[in-house]
Amino acid sequence: MATVLKTCLVAAGLVWALAAQTVQAEEMKRYVVEGSRAATLPSCVEPTELMRRQHMEFIKHQRIATVHEGIRKEKYGLSGCVDCHISYSAERIPQPINQADQFCGACHAFAAVNLNCFDCHASVPNGTPLDAAAAHEAAGVAAQVQSHRDGEDH
Amino acid sequence: MKDDNDAINSERRTFLGVAAGITAAAVAPGVILHTVAAAPRAEPVTSDVRWGLLIDTAKCVDGCSACVDACNHENGLNLQVMPAGESPQKWETQKAVWIRKIKLQDNQTGRVTTLPLMCQHCDDPPCVDVCPTGASFKRADGIVMVDRHLCIGCRYCMMACPYKARSFNHAEMHGQLTSVPRGKGCVESCNLCVHRRDFEQESTACVDACAAEGHHAIVFGDLKNPNSEISQLLNAMPSRQIREDLVLNTGVRYSGV
C-alpha cells in the first residue's frame, strides 16, 4: 500500500513538474510588439538568444565607434533598434519604446534593470528635422510628432 | 557559434567589398556623386581633414539671429522649457545655447561689429585638458565634442573654455531628435553638426540659414584642403582667431574684427 502511495506521489510530482514547465514556457513572454517591423522578421541583427543576453554589449561597442570615430553604418546602432521595434497606436502615433508596454520598457521592467538610454536618446523615430518631416508626412503622423519635437506641448 | 559568426561576417564583407567596388566604379566618372554623398560613414574619421568655419563679420547683420535659430532647430535646443518657478532672468543665463550673437564696440572709434560665437574647435582645446573622464574630446577631424556617455556633469570644461561656448543641461528633456541625443546632467556645445558630417552632407545648419537669409557670412569647410572654399578665402583675406593670445589654433576664424 505504501509503495502504491509512493508511486502515486512520484507520478503526481512528475506530472506537476511537467505541467509547471509547460506553464513556464507559455509564460516566457515574447516582448516583440505586434505591429512593429521587428515582429515581421525571423530574428534581430543577431540570433535572438544572443540579442537577449548581449544587446547591451553590442550597443556599447557601437556607441564608442559612432561617437568617437563617426561610424554610422554598423548594424548595432540604437536608432536601428528604435526604428524596427517601434509600434504605432491606432491613431498612427509612435509609442515611446521605453514605455512599460513597449519592447524595451516591458522587458526591462520584467528584468528589473534600469533603462536610461532614453533619458537622452529619442524613444521614437525622430530624424533630423528635414528627414523627419518627410518620414512623418509619409507615415501620416506629421501633426503629432511636429508638435512634440518643437516642444509646443510642454 | 564563433564559426557561424565568422561565416556571416565574411559573406557580409564580400558583399560590402563588391558593393564598394561597384560604388567606386560609379563614382569614378563623377556622375552620381550626389547620391553616394548621402551615405552614412563606414570608416573611422581621419585627421586628413580638419573642419572649420570662417565668419566674415562685415556680412553679419546686427539683429539677425538666423544662425542661432537654425542651430536650435537642428539640434533640438528648442525642446528646452523653463522649469516651473525659475526666474526668466536666471533661465536666460542657464539655458543651453550653442551659438550666441556677440556685439563688439570699439570704444575709441565707436565701430560696432556683430558676430556669432560658438565652440571654436581649438586644435589644443582647454576643455579636453581639464576633463576628468575623457568625455570632452577632439575627434580626428578636428571637431571638439562631448561624449555624453562619459560626461559626469562636473562642468570643469565650462570653466576652462575661454569662449563660454559650453552649456549644461539642468532639466530632464523629452522628444529628442534621433540625430542629437541630449539629456539632463551633461555638458554640450556646438559640434559642427557632427551628424551631418557623418552622413557626408556639405554644410552646417548655421551656414545654410545664413545663406538662406542672403548674408553668406559663414563658410564651412576643410581647413586642410588647399582647394576648399574656406582655405581659399583664408588665403585671400585677413582673418583672426578670437583670443589669439591663448595660442589655441582655433578652427573657427573671423575676418573684419
With contacts defined as CB-CB under 8 Å, which chain B residues touch A121?
176, 178, 181
CA distances in angstroms from B254 to A46, B51, B215, B226, B237, listed in the order given: 50, 15, 15, 18, 10
With contacts defined as CB-CB under 8 Å, which chain B residues touch A120?
148, 173, 176, 181-183, 186
- d(CA B44, CA B198) in angstroms, rounded, equals 10
Pick the closest to residue B166 from B219, B99, B101 (CA basis): B99
Strand B144-146 vs strand B167-168: parallel, antiparallel, or unpaired?
unpaired
Work out the average pLDDT over B1-27: 49
With contacts defined as CB-CB under 8 Å, which chain A residues touch B74?
128-129
Q: At what angle do helices A142-149 and A129-139 cross, to 10 degrees?
A: 150
DSSP state of A94: B
> Could you give the angle at the alpha carbon of B100 between the alpha carbons of B216 and B168, nearest 5°?
135
Full DSSP string of chain B = -HHHHHHHHHHHHHHHHHHHHHHHHHHTTTSSHHHHHTSPP-S---TT--EEEEEETTTPPTT--HHHHHHHHHTTGGG--PPTT--HHHHHHHS--S-EEEEEE-TTT--EEEEEE-----SS-HHHHH-SSS-EEE-TTS-EEE-TTT-----HHHHH-TT---EE--S---S--SSS---TT-EE---SSHHHHHTT-S--HHHHHHHHTT---EEEEETT-TTSHHHHHHHHS--B-TTGGG----SEEEE--
- How far apart are the two ends of chain A, measured CA to CA in Å? 75
Predicted confidence (pLDDT) per residue in A98-133, tens digit: 999 999 999 999 999 999 999 999 999 987 554 555
- d(CA A42, CA B149) in angstroms, rounded, equals 32
Q: Give Cβ neighbours of residue A90 (< 8 Å, ≥ 6 apart).
A: none
- Chain A residue whose CA is closest to B9: A46
At B196 the pLDDT is 93
Pick the closest to residue A41 from A126, A103, A128, A110 (CA basis): A103
At B33 the pLDDT is 40
Q: Match 574647435 to its residue by C-alpha cell.
A: B121
Min Cα separation A120/chain B (Å): 4
- Which of the pair, B72 or A142, is modelled with greater confidence? B72
- Chain A residue whose CA is closest to B82: A154
DSSP state of A153: T
Residue A31, pLDDT > 50, answer yes
Full DSSP string of A19-42 = HHHHHHHHHS---SPTTSGGGGSS
At B27 the pLDDT is 45
Predicted confidence (pLDDT) per residue in A3-29, tens digit: 666 766 666 666 665 555 554 544 556
A152 in reach of chain B (CB within 8 A) = no
Label residue B23 by pLDDT band (50, 70, 90): very low
- d(CA A7, CA A16) in angstroms, rounded, equals 14
Residue B34, pLDDT > 90, answer no
Residue A134, pLDDT > 80, answer no
Residue B234 has a CB neighbour count (10 Å cut-off) of 19
Label residue B5 by pLDDT band (50, 70, 90): very low
Contact B131, B186 (CB under 8 A): no
- CB–CB contact B178 A121 (8 Å): yes
DSSP state of A140: T
Interface of B with A in 76-115 (CB under 8 A): 76, 78-81
Of A70, A82, A125, the CB nearest to B44: A70
- CB–CB contact B81 A121 (8 Å): no
Work out the average pLDDT over B29-44: 61
At A107 the pLDDT is 93
Of B78, B139, B178, the CB nearest to A122: B178
The average confidence (pLDDT) of chain B is: 88
Pick the closest to residue B205 from B104, B116, B114 (CA basis): B116
With contacts defined as CB-CB under 8 Å, which chain A residues touch B176?
120-122, 126
- CB–CB contact A79 B41 (8 Å): no
- d(CA B200, CA B57) in angstroms, rounded, equals 27
The average confidence (pLDDT) of chain A is: 77
Contact B92, B108 (CB under 8 A): no
At B18 the pLDDT is 52
